[in-house]
A = this chain, B = another copy of it.
Amino acid sequence: MGRSVHDRAGDVKAGPLAGYRVLELGHYIAAPFASRLLGDMGAEVIKVESPQGDPVRTWGAQHDGQSIWWSVHGRNKRCVTLNLKAPEAKGILAGLLRECDAIIENFRAGQLAKMGFGDEFFKSCNPSIVICHISGFGQTGPKSEAACFGVIGEALGGLRYLTNHAKGQSDLPPVRSGISIGDSIAGLYAALGVAASLASRERQGSKVIDVALTEAVLSLLEGTIPEYSKLGKIREPSGGRIPTAAPSNAFPASDGNWVIIAANSDHLFVRLCELMGQPGLAKDPRYVDNIQRCRNVDALEAAIAGWTRELDARSLEALLEKSDIPACRVYRAPEIVADEQYRARDMLLNVDDPIVGPVLHPAPVPRFADIPRRVRWPGPSIGQHNEEIYREALNLSPADFEALRKDGVV
């Protein structure tokens, strides 16, 4: 292994981070997602797991005892196991750190330091390593060491409250966005912090990055905080609507699908009324401009839904497209997989996973011109790269490696 990124050619066609090495001491979602993003852009990722493996390896639907999601979540990484409590762990981790440009971890704040793996240890092994911590509340402050599930981070970050129907529309609780959005956003910020730190490492030295899930979510809330601080205005949920533009919502089709219609300008609304066969609606004083339409949005949406319920999604899409009204079906997995735009851009890649079999992956995002979208390999099995990595990085003989394995260190 070459010690400096300049010694490593990397595979330019793999992306802008080719040649950089990232050590992941992660589990569950946020840190593994961050290193997946960096790996998707060409970085060489080494994931260090406990010998039991990352619990996410069994999350969700499975094939032959392995999570199908893992094929994506673990892709482009080399996976090694290490028992961090073994006395040999420190020397082994030091050997890996010397070969890497960045480390990303998402243990509870302070937990790695208690085990002897704090920032000082990382820096003593490799003074130029970029260190990225991800945690629920961040590395400092009175709550830093508290447990924080994703659902809690999303609620404290202000997103859960806003993901709900307007007051009076429903007694049901606010909804999750259906995925672990807080972890994903924290992972994006972590990858961004690492990439920015790598871009400046030679001029500024290395950085220590501290991503809090709560803060990552809060940073997306647009005007929510400044408006409250200035005017006392509390941002409220508005269901599928945009509070300041109507009509814009999802409407029911006769076949059970939802169709988004965004006819929230005067000329688009006129076209929609004509399409609905009710041109008079556009002149109705209740709907004559956007302010009136927002004021009378319940009745307006009921009128539109009365029309959409009579047609199936395919017919609605065709009619709305012909009238040049921004609209689309609300996609589920089957519609995504069938979409010609995604196909034309290689956004869905056929991957042959040795455990799961042929499986479709979403491609690396963003796309880079002149770099083919591809998956180098799907999520490996537990410890699949133990021998390769440890013998290479630590210069172990086959017998030395076998001893580590037998002692349960790796």
Stretch at the interface among A77-85, A139-147, A272-280, A389-397: A139-147
Of A139, A172, A178, A224, most buried by chain B (CB within 10 Å of CB) is: A178
Contact A215 B72 (CB under 8 A): no
Number of interface residues of A (CB under 8 A): 152
Within 8 Å by CB of A177, from B140, B162, B197, B235, lies B162
Is the C-beta of A382 less than 8 angstroms from some C-beta in chain B? no
Within 8 Å by CB of A226, from B68, B165, B193, B365, lies B68
Mask: chain A, 341-360; 1 = CB below 8 Å from B; 0 = not: 11011011000000011111
A207-B242 contact given A141-B341, A163-B178, A360-B229, CB 8 Å threshold = no
User: What B residues does A241 contact at CB under 8 A?
Assistant: 176
Is the C-beta of A90 less than 8 angstroms from some C-beta in chain B? no
* A144–B340 CA distance with the chains assembled, in angstroms: 11
Is the C-beta of A50 less than 8 angstroms from some C-beta in chain B? no
Would you give the shortest CB distance from A159 to chain B, in whole angstroms?
6
User: What B residues does A117 contact at CB under 8 A?
Assistant: none
User: What B residues does A240 contact at CB under 8 A?
Assistant: 160, 172-176
Contact B179 A175 (CB under 8 A): no
Interface of A is mostly: mixed
Is the C-beta of A218 less than 8 angstroms from some C-beta in chain B? yes
Within 8 Å by CB of A250, from B173, B218, B342, lies B173
Contact A359 B16 (CB under 8 A): no
Is the C-beta of A26 less than 8 angstroms from some C-beta in chain B? no
Within 8 Å by CB of A159, from B41, B177, B218, B358, lies B177
Contact A362 B221 (CB under 8 A): yes
Is the C-beta of A333 less than 8 angstroms from some C-beta in chain B? yes
Contact B227 A68 (CB under 8 A): yes
Contact B172 A170 (CB under 8 A): yes
A156-B331 contact given A17-B200, A174-B250, CB 8 Å threshold = yes
* A370–B326 CA distance with the chains assembled, in angstroms: 47
Contact A155 B330 (CB under 8 A): yes
Contact A163 B163 (CB under 8 A): yes
Given A41-B193, A152-B327, A235-B333, 6 extra CB contacts under 8 A: A15-B196, A138-B341, A155-B330, A158-B332, A174-B250, A175-B175
